[in-house]
């Protein structure tokens, strides 16, 4: 029983780890004392230049564990060989949580993202939701943009201010949530988003601009809503749509 609990605790710990890469990003992370760090990864092929020296100095100051890898192994860790610049860092994000935790919330307003693959859009969505009246974002691991330096830059430092609930696919999470109103945002919907009555548990599903929300997710939605627009404009960027939902009362 104790071994089982230790395994669950260890699994929960590693689920909160996000790997970032790039020398400037790693320096910024190491300089931010509010960010917990698991490990720093460096390639053995790195030259000891100014940036690498700065990284080593900051890591030593914070007593961060440093692990050295060959170039190929480092690329497997960063998952971005072209842009990692031979460095990657594992951070522990307490705001990055398993979507199973949603079941424990008594009330919530969440935005669920289905097929959002553009890092800039994801970052801007996170920023708007952090500033608005949203309790978190559901972000599937499959067919979605990953948390990356581009997302962090677009979020303007708000990434860790809002819960992000991860899952494998969005439909598997929505199936498990009882007594929850699930709304599909669609320009073809009949109902107006501004006429919506407040609900204790609500999720607003946003799809990408090309394909919209996937059929698997559509069938799980209770209703579809539109944002009324003027002058023949058909649709909005998904990040703009998220902003409107985030600031609804």
Q: What is the CATH number of the domain that holds 42?
A: 3.30.1330.30
Predicted confidence at residue 188, as pLDDT, reads 86
Predicted confidence at residue 210, as pLDDT, reads 80
pLDDT in tens, 202-231: 999 999 878 889 999 999 999 999 999 899
pLDDT in tens, 63-96: 999 999 999 999 999 999 999 999 999 999 888 9
Domain end call among 92, 108, 138: 92
Q: Which residue has the higher pLDDT, 87 or 5?
A: 87
* Residues 80, 103 share a domain: no
- Tell whether the model's pLDDT for residue 15 goes beyond 90: no
> Distance between CA atoms of 65 and 58, rounded to whole angstroms?
11
* Residues 132, 18 share a domain: no
Number of domains the chain is built from: 2
- Tell whether the model's pLDDT for residue 163 goes beyond 70: yes
Residues 6+ away with beta carbon under 8 Å from 27: 51, 54, 55, 58
Closest CA to 139 of 149, 159, 153, 157: 159
Kindly compute the dihedral angle of the four CA atoms of residues 157, 163, 169, 171, in this order, to the nearest 10 degrees: -130
Range of the domain at 17: 2-92
Confidence of residue 178 (pLDDT cuts 50, 70, 90): confident
* Residues 217, 175 share a domain: yes
Domain end call among 59, 92, 125: 92
Predicted confidence at residue 2, as pLDDT, reads 62
CATH of the domain at 188: 3.40.1280.10
CB 48 within 8 A of CB 23: no
The total number of residues shown for the chain amounts to 249
- Tell whether the model's pLDDT for residue 198 goes beyond 80: no
Q: Which residue has the higher pLDDT, 41 or 178?
A: 41
Lowest mean pLDDT among 44-58, 146-160, 172-186, 193-207: 146-160
When the pLDDT of each residue in the chain is averaged and rounded to a whole number, the result is: 91
* Residues 209, 104 share a domain: yes
* Residues 127, 63 share a domain: no
Predicted confidence at residue 1, as pLDDT, reads 60
* Residues 153, 233 share a domain: yes
Partners of 136 in the β-ladder: 110
Task: Give the residue-averaged pLDDT of 44-72.
Answer: 95
* Predicted TM-score of the model (pTM): 0.86
pLDDT in tens, 95-149: 899 999 999 999 999 999 999 999 999 999 999 999 999 999 999 999 899 888 8
| Axis-axis angle for helices 238-246, 119-131 (nearest 10) | 10
Domain end call among 72, 92, 112: 92
* Residues 143, 21 share a domain: no
């Amino acid at each position: 029983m104790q071994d089982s609990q230790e395994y669950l605790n260890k699994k929960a710990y590693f689920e909160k780890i996000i790997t970032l890469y790039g020398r400037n990003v790693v320096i910024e992370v190491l300089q931010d004392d509010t960010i917990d760090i698991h490990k720093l990864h460096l390639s053995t092929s790195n030259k000891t230049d100014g940036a690498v020296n700065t990284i080593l100095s900051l890591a030593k100051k914070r007593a961060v564990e440093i692990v050295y890898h060959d170039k190929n192994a480092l690329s497997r860790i960063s998952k971005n060989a072209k842009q990692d610049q031979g460095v990657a860092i594992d951070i522990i994000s307490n705001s990055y949580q398993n979507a199973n935790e949603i079941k424990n919330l008594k009330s919530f307003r969440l935005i669920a993202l289905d097929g959002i693959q553009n890092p800039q859009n994801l970052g801007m969505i996170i920023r708007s939701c952090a500033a608005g009246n949203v309790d978190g974002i559901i972000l599937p691991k499959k067919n979605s943009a990953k948390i990356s330096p581009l997302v962090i830059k677009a979020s303007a430092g708000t990434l860790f201010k809002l819960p992000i609930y991860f899952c494998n696919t969005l439909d598997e999470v929505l199936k498990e949530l009882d007594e929850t109103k699930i709304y599909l945002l669609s320009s073809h919907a009949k109902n107006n988003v501004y006429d919506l009555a407040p609900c204790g548990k609500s999720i607003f599903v946003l799809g990408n601009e090309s394909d919209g929300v996937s059929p698997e997710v559509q069938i799980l939605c209770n209703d579809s809503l539109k944002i009324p627009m003027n002058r023949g404009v058909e649709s909005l960027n998904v990040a703009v749509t998220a902003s409107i939902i985030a600031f609804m009362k």
